[in-house]
Structure 1
Amino acid sequence: MASGLRGLSSVQFSAIKARLYDGRFLSVPQWNIQPGECWAITGTNGSGKTVLSMLTADQVVLSHGEAMNLPARVAFVSLEAQARQIELERKEDESDITDEPDKGTLIRDYLAPLAKVQHLIDFLQVGHLLDSGFRALSTGESRKVLLIRALQDQPDLLVLDEPLEGLDQLSRERVLQLLTEQQAAGQAMLWVANRLDEIPSWITHLAFMHDAELLCQGHKDDVLARPEVQGLMHFNRPLGDFPAAPNADTLPADQPLVRMVNTRIRYDERVLFSDLNWEIKPGCHWAIQGPNGCGKTSLLQLITGDNPQCYSNELYLFGMRRGRGESIWDIKKHIGIVSSALQWEYRASTNVLTTVISGLYDSIGLYRSSGDDDKQLALRWLELIGLRHKANQSLQHLSYGEQRLVLIARALIKQPPLLILDEPCQGLDDPSRHLVLAFIARLAEQQKITLLYVTHHADEIPAAIQQRLFFRMQDGASRIEISRQ
C-alpha cells in the first residue's frame, strides 16, 4: 500500500483562483489529496505544474478559493531551487571585496551536521564533493546535494520537481531507489513530472495541468487514458523549414573547427582529465557522454572560452590558436550554445523576443537596437518552437521548460558553424522534447551545422551523430574514449 500522506490530514483545495505573472489565472476547481494516495503532477510546459505544487506550501497568493490542512513543513527539490541557490551564492560572492578566490558555501557546511546524513552521502556517492563549493557542482551533483538537504530537514511533504533531471543513469537508479525507500517508510511526496516515462510505479494518482488549469485528476491510469491528455502529450506537429541565417559564417571546409593537443583540466590537486587529443571537423557531429562531474562541462567551457585553462592548453578554434591575440568575440561568433549554465546566467531583464535576437550578437540581453529583419527572424523561430504568442512576455516569467525552448531558438537563430547542446531537453515535456529532438536530427542530417550533443539519454542520440566521446571515471579522474562509427 502506498504511504502517500501517512500521518497527515487530507489536503484540500477548493475553487482556487490565483493570478500568475503572465496575466493568466491558475484555476483549480477541486483537488483533494487523501492519506494513502501518492500524487504526481504532470502536463504541458508552462501549464502551471510548479505553481500547483507550490499551493501545498502556501506560497501562492489566492484571489479566490480555499486551501485546507496544508502540511506545516514542505521542502522542494527542483531546477528552480538549484537556480535560487546558485543566485544566492553569486550575490554573496559579489559582496566579497577581497581578492581571494571564494568557493562559496562548501558542501560539508551546506549539509552540516554531516553525521545526520552520512548514510545518504554514501549512498548517493557525493562524499568527494564535501570540500567543493555549491556553484562549482555539475547539474546532477547539485541535484543530489539538494535532495540530501531536503531529506535532512524531515519535511512533512517533499515536493520533487523533476528529481531525475540532469542525472546520469547510475545516479537516476540510486535516486529512484532512495525515494522508493523513503516513500515506503512513510515520507509524503509530491512528484512533478515532464517525462511520463519517469513517473515511479508507486504513484497512484495524477493531476494533469494545461494552460494554468487543473484539467483532470484521479487514478493515474484513468487520467493517462483520457483522450484530451493523450492528445496534449502526443507530438504530431509538422516540422517547419528553418529560416535562413542573416549572415552565415563561412569557414574553410578542410580545417578543423576545434583541435586539442594533449589537453588537461586541473582544479587544485585534482586532475579532471589529461592527454586529450581531439579534432572536430566540419559536418562531423559528436555525442558526449559520461557520469555527473566527470568533466563534460569543463571540456565545453574550454571551447566557449568560459574556462581560463583554455589559455594554458594547446587549443585551436576556427583556425586560431587560443591566447594569440584573438578576442572572445572572435570565438563566440562561430558558436551557439544551450546549457543549464547559460540559463542560470541569463538574468537580464528582457522579454522573450529580445532573448532570441540576442543570439545574433552573442550577448546576455540586448544592448543595441535591432532592426525589423532581426525581429521578424526571431518571430519565425518562436513560431517554430510554439512560443510566438509569448514574444513580449518576460523570460523570467516563463516556466523552466519554456525558457529552455527560447534559449534553443536563441542558439539556432544565427545557425553557427558549431552548435553546443548540453542537455537541451532538460525541463521539457514530452511533445517539446520530441520537437527538439526532431530539430537535432534535421540539423545532423543537413551537416551545415556541426553538433556537440551532451546527453545522459543514449536513446535520444540521432542516428546521424556517428562520433562518440565517452568519459569513464577511474580513481577519481576521467579517462576519455573516442569512438567513430
Structure 2
Amino acid sequence: MNIRLENLTVNFDDRFQLDEINWQLDDTQHWVITGTNGAGKSALAAILAGAGDIVSGSMSGVPAKVGLVSFEAQAELIERERKKDDADIMDVISEGTPVHEILHEGDRNPVLIQQLVSMFKLESLLDRAFRKLSTGESRKVMLIRALASEPDLLVLDEPFDGLDAHTLEMLQQYLLSLVETVPMILVLNRFDEFPDFITHIAYVDQGRLQHQIDRHDSQAYNELYHLLHLKTTELQVPPTDSDTALPPLDPTQPLVRLNKINVTYDGHRIIDSLDWTIEPNQHWQLSGPNGSGKTCLLSLITGDHPQCYVNDIFVFGFQRGNGESIWQIKQFIGYVSTALQWEYKVGTGLRNVIISGFYDSIGLYTKATDRQKQIADQWLALLGMSDRADTPFNKLSYGDQRLLLIARAMVKHPPLLILDEPCLGLDDMNRQLVLALIEKICAASETAVLYVNHHAEDKIKGIDHYLALEKREPDSSQ
C-alpha cells in the first residue's frame, strides 16, 4: 500500500473544504490525525473511505477494503434504521434491525465477528435493535463491523470515546496485535491517548494539512504538543498583580489617536497625513512592505521617534509635547520584538523572566512577591511549561523564548500590547505557536493587541481591524 494525495482539494456538500492536501502513507506507518475542533481531522480521515467530492488534485493507492469507524458513519447507520420505521404506512411498529444482522452485513468474517462479540461482551445485545443501543454500545458494534471486515486500511475516528476503561484497554491491546498486518489511521484530540505504536502525526488546521511529523522526532513532537495545548486548553490569561497595577485610564478616551501624521527623512515623506485611532480592547493588524513606515509608526506611539513632538499625537491620556515623560507613556505598553529577544540573553529561569515584566527589566533584580510567583506559574501553565519553571531562558528554543517574552509583556495587562513581527525568524510550527498565544490573548484579556507583520492576508482569529501601509517612492522632481 502506498497512498498518495497530491494537491488534493475536497468539498463536503459546500459545508467544509479540505484544501491542497499533500500526504503520502505506506503500509509500514501508523498515523494519528490531530488538531482542534472543526479543523478538518475527520474530513481528512473520511476521504480515505470515499467521502467528499474531489475538486482538484489526485488521490491514488487507497485500498479497496477500508474499515471506517466514525461518528458520521455511526449517524448514517442510525438514520438508515430510522427510515425503516414506516409506521405511518404500515399498521406495525418497526423494531429496527437487530445487532446480529448489522454485524453480518457485507463481506465480514463470521468467525472473527463471534470472537469480537465475546471480547466486547455484546452477547446479550445481539437480538436488540441497533438504534436502541447506547452510544457506547453502538460504538462497539461499529468497531466490530470494521475489524471483522479484515480491512487493508483501518481508519478510526475517536475510537476510544464512549468506551469504559476495561473496553478501552482491551481495544488498545487488540489494535496492537494488528500492527504488523494492518496500517492504521486514528483521529484523536488527546495526546495522552496516542497509542505507542503510532509512527507519524498529521496536524490539521482550517482545512489544511499543516504539519507531518515523525513520532520519534522529539523536538517536533514537543512543539506540536505545545501548539495543541495552546489551542485547546481551557486555561485563561492569568490576572495581573493588584500591587503593581497600572494607573487607570479614562475608558471614554482612545488609547492612541494620530491626527494627520507626517514623517519625513532627508526630504522623503515616509508617512503622509495618516489618521489612526486605537480604541480600548480593539485588536489591530498592521502590515506593509519593508520601508512602508511600520517601525516608524510604532516609534511614534512609544515616544521613541524624534518627530513625535511635531505631530498631533494623543496616547494614554497624554497629548504629546506637554511635558510628559517617555516612561509615563511606556508603562502602558507591552512590547515584543526580535530586537528585544536579541537583548534578552540572560540565564534567568523562566518564572523570573515572566516576573521581570512587572519591572520592565531584562533579568530580575527585585525580590518577587508570592503573588507575582503565582501569576508567573499560571502563565507557565498556559504555555505548557510548568515543568520548566527554573530552566534558564537562554537554554530554550528560539520559538519558546518568543512565547515567554509575550507572556512577560502581558504580565501587567498593559492597555496596549505591541507585537512587532513576532513570527520573524520562526519556523512554521513555532509561528503557529505564537499565533495561537496571540489568539488566546485577543479572546481573553482587556488588552488591545497591535500585531505587526508583512502580510495583510496572514490573519489571526480575534483581530478584526487592519491598517496596511504602502511604501512611498521618493519624489523624482525633488
Flag the structure with larger Rg.
2
Please report the TM-score for the alignment, with normalisation by the length of structure 1.
0.48
Please report the TM-score for the alignment, with normalisation by the length of structure 2.
0.49
